[in-house]
Amino acid sequence: MKVIVVKSDVEGGKEGYNVFAEEKKNGAKTFGLATGSTPVTTYKEIVASDLDFTDSVSVNLDEYVGMSADNEQSYNYFMKSHLFDYKPFKTSYLPNGLAEDSDAEVKRYDKVIDDNPIDLQILGIGRNGHIGFNEPGTPRDITTHKVPLTQSTIDANARFFEHEEDVPKFAYSMGLASIMKSKHILLEAFGEDKADAVKGMIEGPDTVDLPASILQNHPNVTVIIDEAAASKLE
């Protein structure tokens, strides 16, 4: 793993942008994308740049089950408002939250990933070391799957919804095996609350209890972290 320590998430965004720009210059065509607060500074740098993705493909990590693309809480909506409205891709794939048949949707998304091998995958990391919605204990050979959300995630999301029954209970997520197929993985983490997960990912045992530690087995990983997220490293 190549570890780059920066002062802040803003500086991290500039480094993250550099990784995208370099990969693009080297011919990368397919970009795996993430939502959440972590990649926002990188997306801002991309939006402010002259990088052009109209010949590129994007494949997102995950989406809530039951949520339409125009719902403001959907990952689809997040990607539009943070990146795609400004930097359109030739084709952008996300799991379809409204798919009627989950098994078919999971298979469809696996085929999307097989047909569009990811050159660069950007990831955030959860405080418990999750990547995508692959929570601790997730088998490592898993590809796209439908994941029950933890009660704490459901509770945290409840404030965004008027009716409790609208709060998503499941998500579709790329699996750990899908993520590991990417040629280059860029993992970003900012803030002290990520320090334990970052330490486990880089220095801890390679274990299913900390899903991101699987990245120790990948030949091309770049980690961009701020000093707070790096604070527990030896």
Residue 70 CA neighbour count, 13 Å, CB half: 0
Whether 163 sits among the annotated catalytic residues: the reply is no
Contact yes or no for 142/177 (Cβ under 8 A): yes
Count other Cβ atoms within 10 Å, centred on residue 71: 18
d(CA 28, CA 211): 26
Q: Of 135, 145, 184, 188, which one is the catalytic site residue?
A: 135
**Which lies closer to ligand F6R via its Cβ, residue 34 or residue 57?**
34
To ligand F6R, the closest distance from the beta carbon of 171 in angstroms equals 9
Note the residues at the interface with ligand F6R (CB under 6 A): 34-38, 61-62, 124-126, 130-132
Strand order in the sheet with 91-93: 2-6, 221-226, 184-189, 120-123, 30-33, 57-60, 91-93
**Which lies closer to ligand F6R via its Cβ, residue 132 or residue 200?**
132
* Closest residue to ligand F6R in the complex (CB): 124
Whether 196 sits among the annotated catalytic residues: the reply is no
To ligand F6R, the closest distance from the beta carbon of 79 in angstroms equals 9
d(CA 163, CA 166): 6
Q: Of 45, 62, 63, 119, which one is the catalytic site residue?
A: 62
**Which lies closer to ligand F6R via its Cβ, residue 24 or residue 95?**
95
Whether 130 sits among the annotated catalytic residues: the reply is yes
Active site residue ranges? 62, 128, 130, 135
